[in-house]
Amino acid sequence: MDFFKKTIAPVLLTGLWINISESIRWVLFIKSYWIEHFHKKGMVFLEGPVNLAVWMIWGFLFAIIIFILSKKFSVVQAALLSWAAVFVMMWIVLWNTGILPDGMLWIAGPLSLFETYIGAFICKKLSAGR
């Protein structure tokens, strides 16, 4: 039971937080940038259940990374390291391939850093016990 409380629960709650946060950010702020950017390139942005499932898996894998780093580092350090490892690296790849929409990072950057900080906070608090 202690393993569940200190390992599984933090990862599950952080994964839920990340997926909810990503969904809200996507719908409210980011989706229009992607759709328009793909349209300008003559491409169609793929959406659907499989795409959604892959992003949900991504969110839980991100939660695992945050959890592991939060065991070794402070909340701020874990947040910055995991944010750089996941988001910044992803944006570099997307920019390098010409897929990253112009202007999106002004919104996505701060919101993703906030999302990651809250995830690190959840992991640190729940894995520490009471």
pTM score of the predicted model: 0.91
Question: Residue 104's closest CA among 39, 30, 44?
Answer: 30
Distance of CA 89 to the CA centre of its chain: 12
Q: Sign of the CA dihedral 80, 81, 82, 88?
A: positive
101: left (phi over 0), alpha (psi -120 to 50) or beta: beta
How far apart, in whole angstroms, are the C-alpha atoms of residue 111 and residue 17? 13
Q: Which domain holds residue 81?
A: 2-128
Domains of the chain: total: 1
What letter does residue 101 receive in the DSSP assignment?
P
Q: Give the Cβ contact number of residue 117 at 10 Å.
A: 18
Show pLDDT as tens, one digit a residue, over the chain (130 residues). Answer: 788 889 999 999 999 999 999 999 999 988 988 888 889 999 888 888 999 999 999 999 999 999 999 999 999 999 999 999 999 999 999 999 988 887 889 999 999 999 999 999 999 999 885 4
